[in-house]
Chains A and B, each alone.
Chain A
Amino acid sequence: MNYAQFLTMQQELGVLAVFLIVFLFDTFCGKNSRSAVTPLAIVCFAAVTIYGFFCTGTGEAFGGMYVTSPVISCIKSILNLGALIVLIQAVPWINSEEGSVRRGEFYELLFVTLFGMYLMISARHFLLFIIGLESASLPLAAMVAFNKNKYESHEAAVKYMFTAIFSSAILMMGLSFVYALSNGSLYFADLAESIALGSNSVLLVTAIAFVIAGFGFKLSLVPFHLWTADVYQGAPTTVTSYLSVISKGSAAFAFLVVLAQVFGAVYSDIWEWMMYALIIATITIGNLFAIRQRNMKRFMAFSSVSQAGYIMLGIVAANVLGMTSMIFYILVYIFSNLGVFGVIQAIENKTGYVSMDDYRGLHKTNPWLSFAMTLAVFSLAGIPPFAGFFSKILIFTGATESGSVALYVLVLIALINTIISLYYYLLVVKAMWISPEEPVVPAFRSACTERFGLWICCAGIIFLGLISCIYGWIYGVSEIAATEGFFALLG
């Protein structure tokens, strides 16, 4: 075996290295120096993140089971960036009573899941894909249960565990059907070939429905979203934010890869319409349920359900613009969502309040936190000049490129839904700025890491859209992927 091919997996190796450093340090260091794990993990991971931006090569390993290309490195770097912000924002929580006993474990679990997500994105063989999927899901359940003394945390972990296993099972069922149609290979390329040759059989339709359902659970698309609110509410807020952006972002990209590279030939015959139905249901139901939520974490759960629907618009567009806009949307979504979660965490860590009712009059006591929250929800709602506006418009532009009337109708429904979402995002703004009641949350100074994390998010929200070269960079790498035949099956 040629061990040099491991070197094509540069970003995976980087995360693995950080994992090992943290693991070894945590195991062998003295009791007094154990708190140094936090800065160690952050610094090492920051180095990996920066290094990731320079990994732009194309390559494959293990007989084509694993591939990397500029666009894959790009999405991994974006996820790295998000994970780094999560790590920075997590510091006060991890130093608190709940976290400090098992500080090292948190980082180890997080890096393992990240490693799994990378494999999922890079896999071109379903065995490697399943390994990635499982190592991304199961440690997450442990992270959800991290608040040892909280009943909700345990409940959420069990729920997450069951849905994760169940969805993997459904996904694998679907894959076994596809396998049955093929000539006995689990390579994406081989499967795609047999699907393109084969007829549009009931078995294939069932298989695709199962695969979409499996991903639907991961991405919490309606009607597979029922676990989301409970898990988001019960999990520690840091884990919730990780779950809502990084886990979702990686699954979305992997979903695009599987649909385009395996099932691309039957795009218009089978899964285009399934996706339409899913997107409409996801965006609409996610929005309508979010309106009634008072708990901020449940609120963000439904908000992220509907945001996932918008991300899916990039998949049905099935072209370079759609792919670029989807990656850009994920990037902007990471910054905006982490902005909201940063504020939620800061308030929760200091005071324990998580209800929207407790945010009333927040601007009187904590003007900067309410300012950051306002920016973040405006960005999520797609208000210019913040980045969310650009990501929404660009994803709509990508979706309408093909010019089919069905896609126009789909975009119209999505646009009308932005109004519903604006309503509930404005409820947060209203609570903070307009409600006449006396503030519940006392004035406090949040930890410097939290403030630093929020500064990064705010800077991203303001500048990501205005500085167009970021979109240009993503477009460049997506175009390379397209010339290498990413969308070849779609015709």
Chain B
Amino acid sequence: MILQNILIWFVIIPLIMLAGLALCKKMTQIRTVMVVCSVALLAIAGWLCVDFLAQRAAGNTAEMLYTGNWMWYAPLNIKLSVGVDGISVLMLMLSAVIVFAGTIASWKISPLPRNFFLWFALLSMGVFGFFITIDIFTMFMFYEVALIPMYLLIGVWGTGRKEYSAMKLTLMLMGGSAFLMLGLLGIYWHSGPSADGAAHTWNILEIAHNGAIEKGWQYFLFPMTFVGFGVLGAMFPFHTWSPDGHACAPTAVSMLHAGVLMKLGGYGCFRIAIYLLPQAANDLAWIFIILTGISIVYGAFSACVQTDLKYINAYSSVSHCGMVLFAILMLNTTAMTGAIMQMLSHGLMTALFFALIGMIYGRTHTRDIRKMGGLMQIMPYLGVCYMIAGFASLGLPGLSGFVAEMTIFFGSFQNADLFHRIFVIAATCSIVITAVYILRVVGKLLLGPVFDDHHRQLTDATWWERLSTITLIVCIAAIGCFPNWINETIQHSFLPIIENLKAAI
């Protein structure tokens, strides 16, 4: 029975959410549905984490746990296959936390609250579905499900040049998925036989074990899939949707988008491009190392000259997400571990940033740092939270950013040739640039004299704002203080990938 698999509930609960919202009329009902369902998601994600670790501790070393297969389109051997390893478990946890925080942060959304949450629920269904599947067709379907609600969420509830940004974001991401689709079709037709006797398979594990894709095809498919996912991971030069999109999106959508959606890109590159096409990954990684290296440095420099708070964080996201892809391309365990940690860390702290920016903007009605100052005196709670997010971003020990970046740079430095060294050193320099733009904002925005006397009447955070931010801060500190727990969860997941890569040399 399909419902007995716990992973399916990550899709069923958003479906219940959609159905519930369709029936709701009043704001209180809408909030009830959203809160109940997002807490339920959080609960099963938490239970999954615990149970997963327990199973690993009990000696279950299978590559994917909780697997299930249900035939869908029999003529093409398309199945709904689910399964998780440590990485997906953490990603599910991250998504659940951010969906919860995003729901709470958009407590007073207007206009059309019901429609907002309908699209929000559809988006989260796509995200959860993406992380539970191990079948490239269903994975791609959920990927696209997650992308399209962004158009309406930004277009209807956004601010500023929202129509332009929404269109740009949607078309660029869909453009990426067009390349991705071709890559996936190529993988399917060269995948080799399926375990149940069909001639081709969509299942990631089976494709990886068959290893039947010829070298020539890999050279063609690897750029397709990597660029396809890389667009969502804000890889230079396909990152231009990200600043505009984030700047115009409403708070909860920025949170979910920077926090989770951009992780789909990194996760996809890792799970599909690198895992399934190892020969091409070994041979062509250098091209993408150059591109992601540029992303890291360029994103950080761009953030330095922005004056809009959201643009600063959007460019900072380009830099940090570039680091995720950069680390994945180093093709060794340590760097990849760092990449996963960076995904979690970036997801949480960017969500926190965007939540805080939304809260500040809701009060001051401006995001221009030149028109604000001394907010620490006026709203100390939000000020402190902003500082914590900033410190996490520039890598203060004890917070998540430090752990992630250190692991990435340690891992990257293991590649001893000159080419890698140059790019790793360049990427490391971005830490300094990050400090520049974070401290500049903190100094101008929070400390210093009050710029605008009208701001003195503003109030500090409300209870739901506190709840939303505290959830995120707790998670950031937890990763920063107990990184070993993360390490234990994901350590088994890299083995098959690294083995695949080594065998392909």
Interface residues of A (CB under 8 A from B): 321, 324, 378, 383-385, 389, 393-394, 396-397, 400-401, 403, 408, 411-412, 415-416, 418-419, 422-423, 426, 429-430, 433-434, 468, 471-472, 475
Contacts and interface: CB of A to CB of B under 8 A. Distances in A.
A35 B170 CA distance: 49
20 contacts: A384-B141, A385-B141, A393-B140, A393-B181, A397-B76, A400-B185, A401-B189, A415-B178, A415-B182, A416-B175, A419-B171, A419-B174, A422-B171, A426-B170, A430-B167, A434-B156, A434-B162, A468-B72, A471-B73, A475-B75
A-B pairs, 7 with minimum CB distance: A415-B178, A475-B75, A434-B155, A384-B141, A468-B73, A384-B144, A400-B185
A383 B171 contact: no
Nearest to A405: B220
A47 B268 CA distance: 50
Contacts, number: 82
A396 B185 contact: yes
B311 interface: no
B193 interface: no
Given A385-B145, A416-B175, 14 more contacts: A321-B75, A393-B181, A396-B181, A403-B189, A408-B182, A415-B178, A418-B178, A422-B174, A426-B167, A429-B151, A433-B156, A434-B152, A471-B75, A475-B74
Contacts of B167: 423, 426, 430
Nearest to A411: B182
A415 B181 contact: yes
A434 B186 contact: no
A433 B73 contact: no
Nearest to B138: A384
Contacts of B236: none
Interface of B: 72-76, 78, 137, 140-142, 144-145, 148, 151-152, 155-156, 162-163, 166-167, 170-171, 174-175, 178-179, 181-182, 185-186, 188-189
A489 B163 CA distance: 52
Contacts of B162: 434
A378 B151 CA distance: 12
A324 B76 CA distance: 11
A111 B159 CA distance: 53
B246 to A, nearest CB: 18
Given A426-B151, A429-B151, A433-B156, A411 B185 contact: yes
Contacts of B185: 396-397, 400, 411
Contacts of B140: 393
Nearest to B151: A426
A125 B162 CA distance: 58
Contacts of A430: 155, 163, 167
A433 B144 contact: no
Contacts of B142: 384
Contacts of A394: 73, 76
A433 B119 CA distance: 13
A227 to B, nearest CB: 31
Chain B CB count within 10 A is highest, among A383, A384, A415, A423, for A384
A325 B183 CA distance: 20
Nearest to A378: B148
Nearest to A467: B72
Nearest to B167: A426
